[in-house]
Amino acid sequence: MEVCIRPWLQTDLEPLLLLANNKKITDNLRDFFPHPYTKADAEEWLSFNTGVNPVTNFVIEADGYFAGAIGVMPKTDVYRKSIEIGYWLGEPYWGKGIVSNAIHLMLQKIWRDYPHVNRVYAEVFEHNKASMRVLEKNGFHLESIRKQAVIKNNMLLDDYVWVLLRS
């Protein structure tokens, strides 16, 4: 399956709505990603992410179809050498190696576009073993487990911090 990452377009509205309105996805993301995911949510996201420079949030495409999203959050101040990545994938695309490929593409982009960054990390909720596996496949190592650091769905969860250092 051919995977690419690209900037957001206004035409992504319908596929975004179709895939993002899934509790199985929101259970693994921060609360700013709402459930239910409404048309207003999608329109707000697209207005924030289309036509921007630099692009920090991208669509994941699989064989030319909208499959999910991946993005970076450059850090500032004393953390300015670090960048956080985050991603989600529509349920019909799970288990096909798409996120692993998208992370690989994002890492290439990070190392090229952010030459000052030497540390890329992702935070994963304790129950999201699939996400941990794709990070490990991309060379990340488990740096720490922040005990009961997350409150999600009224439950305290451990937060697994996965890190990749520039080689």
- Domains parsed from the chain with CATH numbers: 3-117 (3.40.630.30)
Output the pLDDT for position 13: 98
Residue 167 has pLDDT above 90, yes or no: no
Round to whole Å and give the CA distance between 44 and 138: 31
At 111-146, the pLDDT tens digits run: 999 999 999 999 999 999 999 999 999 999 999 999
Burial 58-67 (b: 16+ CB within 10 A, else e): bbbbbeeebb
